[in-house]
A and B are shown apart, each in its own frame.
Chain A
Amino acid sequence: MLAFVVTTIICFITYLLLTTGSGTRILGLWSLYEILFGVILSLIVGFIARTIFVKDNFRMANPVRWITFLVYVIGPFFVAMAKANLDVAYRVITGKINPGIVKISPDLKTDLVITLLANSITLTPGTLTVDIDENKNDLYIHWINVKKEAIAKKPVDCKYICSNFHNWIRRIAE
Chain B
Amino acid sequence: MMAFEYLIVFLALLLCSIMAMIRVIRGPTAPDRIVGLDTINTIVIVLMVVFGAAFNEVIYIDVAIVYALLSFISTLFIAKYLEGGEF
> What is the total number of residues of chain B having a CB less than 8 Å from a CB of chain A?
3
Answer whether residue B58 sits at the interface, using C-beta atoms and an 8 A cutoff: yes
> What is the total number of residues of chain A having a CB less than 8 Å from a CB of chain B?
2
Which residues of B45-87 have CB atoms within 8 Å of chain A's CB atoms?
A: 58, 62, 65
Answer whether residue A23 sits at the interface, using C-beta atoms and an 8 A cutoff: no
A6 to B: closest C-beta gap in Å: 22
Q: Which residues of B contact A21 (CB under 8 A)?
A: 58
Which residues of A2-21 have CB atoms within 8 Å of chain B's CB atoms?
A: 18, 21
Give A150 to B60 CA distance when docked, in angstroms: 47
Give A21 to B58 CA distance when docked, in angstroms: 9
Give A18 to B62 CA distance when docked, in angstroms: 8
A21 to B: closest C-beta gap in Å: 6
B17-37 Cβ-contact flags toward A at 8 Å (1 or 0): 000000000000000000000
Give A21 to B57 CA distance when docked, in angstroms: 12
Which residue on chain B has the smallest CB distance to residue A19? B62
Q: Which residues of A contact B58 (CB under 8 A)?
A: 21
B20 to A: closest C-beta gap in Å: 14
3 contacts across the A-B interface (CB closer than 8 A): A18-B62, A18-B65, A21-B58
Binding site for A on B (CB under 8 A): 58, 62, 65
